[in-house]
Amino acid sequence: MPEGELVGIFALTWQVAVMLGLGGLLIYLGIARQVEPVLLVPIGMGIILANIPLGGLTETGGLLAILRTFGIETELFPLLIFIGVGAMIDFGPLLQRPYTALLGAAAQFGIFGTFFLAYFVGDGGLHLFDFSFHDAVSIGIIGSADGPTSIYVATVLRSKYAPAIVVAAYSYMALVPIIQPPIMRALTTKTERALAMPARAEKVSPRTRVLFPVVTILVVGLVAPKATPLIGTLMFGNLLRESGVVERLSQAAQNEMANIVTILLGLAVGGMMVAKDFLRPETIMIYVMGVVAFAVGTAAGVLLGKLMYVASGRRINPLIGAAGISAFPMSARVVQKVGLEANPHSHLLMHAAGANTAGQIASVVAGGAVLVLVSFFA
């Protein structure tokens, strides 16, 4: 056997070195800067393991190849994660303020805006980048600000950029406190931002909480059937939480299962980022469009918030629209912070949480809608 096949350093190229550096950077950001550490640490390690020359982890039978085949290509991991996410989410603020669901819908505009942009610079117009119709749809879904949905849609559509899309989605979710406030301030006046909303709302009955996940599966499943796997697992997790009789299962979904799948998912996503597929101009463009997706989604949510502000006779603070993107609970906290800057007595957190949890449902519906869109046009 030639020496080059035994000693990895002979197979080290600059591209591989860049990927090893990138893996190290993600681990650094996760540990030292606390940027989405739960995901960036496993993803960073996955990148390093996948790019060690001659390591063989991404070849047939290798650990990362197995995780990719059985966890990602079957769409199993994102769906299992959604059970955990559903068990973690309290839909109470949304049920107390049903109108905030529309803000969640508006904020999904980033998905469609980014899709058109990606398709225009790709195969649909300028041909500057190698973005097919399926790739453009998958890139647009970054705007859902929802990691599992991004993975699910990019995998179902077999996008060759799935790893970059997933990493971009999670990276920008961590950057929500930087991306959103300037847009929120630019689109609202000081008076609008300072509007205080009543902190208390009527209690939601336990029966409503239990029925909500079941009814939501029926409504979403019947209108957007392609979203059924996502909404079904999300709401199943929520039913475990709200039923009150399977506390052990709810805790297992929130902790053990979500944690184990997160480790495997992170490694698998990192394992998909091998130098020859990742280091392309398209990857940089995906990151640029990720910012566009988050910005457009935020702006659309705030603009609908402004419409509600006027329509409600100045009783709804337009800032809560920014929480319509489903980066939960980060964007609700951002709304609270920006609101407090304008009025130290204004507490928008629970209102924003309503829009934020609605964004979670809306992003799943949007994921199902784009899958229908693809089967319709492709």
Partner 1 sequence: MGVVFATLGLLVLVMTALNRLLGAKPAAKATPGGRTGRA
Q: Which residues bind partner 1 (CB under 8 A)?
A: 94-95, 98-99, 101-102, 104-106, 108-109, 112, 202-205, 207-208, 211-212, 215-216, 219-220, 223-224, 358, 361-362, 365-366, 368-369, 372
Of 243 and 251, which has the nearer Cβ to partner 1?
243
User: Considering the complex, what minimum distance in angstroms separates the CB of residue 204 from partner 1?
Assistant: 7
d(CA 236, CA 182): 37
Q: Name residue 261's amino acid.
A: V
What are the φ/ψ torsions at residue 54 (nearest 5 degrees)?
65, 15
3-class secondary-structure state, position 60: coil
User: Considering the complex, what minimum distance in angstroms separates the CB of residue 350 from partner 1?
Assistant: 15
Of 117 and 224, which has the nearer Cβ to partner 1?
224
3-class secondary-structure state, position 352: helix
What is the token pair recorded at 115?
């899709």
Of 95 and 257, which has the nearer Cβ to partner 1?
95
Of 162 and 220, which has the nearer Cβ to partner 1?
220
Of 47 and 365, which has the nearer Cβ to partner 1?
365
Q: How many CB atoms lie within 10 A of CB 130?
A: 14
Of 273 and 371, which has the nearer Cβ to partner 1?
371
Q: Which residue has tokens 């070849």?
A: 59
Of 53 and 92, which has the nearer Cβ to partner 1?
92
User: Considering the complex, what minimum distance in angstroms separates the CB of residue 247 from partner 1?
Assistant: 22
Of 23 and 321, which has the nearer Cβ to partner 1?
321
Closest CA to 350 of 198, 240, 233, 164: 198
User: Considering the complex, what minimum distance in angstroms separates the CB of residue 199 from partner 1?
Assistant: 18
Interhelix angle 228-243/206-223, rounded to 10 degrees, is 170
Of 33 and 203, which has the nearer Cβ to partner 1?
203
d(CA 100, CA 284): 34
Closest CA to 162 of 68, 63, 234: 68
Interhelix angle 37-51/258-271, rounded to 10 degrees, is 40
What is the token pair recorded at 179?
């991306």
User: Considering the complex, what minimum distance in angstroms separates the CB of residue 294 from partner 1?
Assistant: 17
3-class secondary-structure state, position 160: coil
Q: For the purposes of burial, counting CB atoms within 10 Å of the CB of 2, is it exposed (0-12), middle (13-18) or buried (19 or more)?
A: exposed
What is the token pair recorded at 34?
């606390």
User: Considering the complex, what minimum distance in angstroms separates the CB of residue 368 from partner 1?
Assistant: 8
User: Considering the complex, what minimum distance in angstroms separates the CB of residue 303 from partner 1?
Assistant: 13
Residue 191 and residue 199 in contact, taking contact as beta carbons nearer than 8 Å: no
The H or E element spanning position 180 is helix 176-187
Residue 325 and residue 110 in contact, taking contact as beta carbons nearer than 8 Å: yes
User: Considering the complex, what minimum distance in angstroms separates the CB of residue 233 from partner 1?
Assistant: 17
User: Considering the complex, what minimum distance in angstroms separates the CB of residue 264 from partner 1?
Assistant: 31
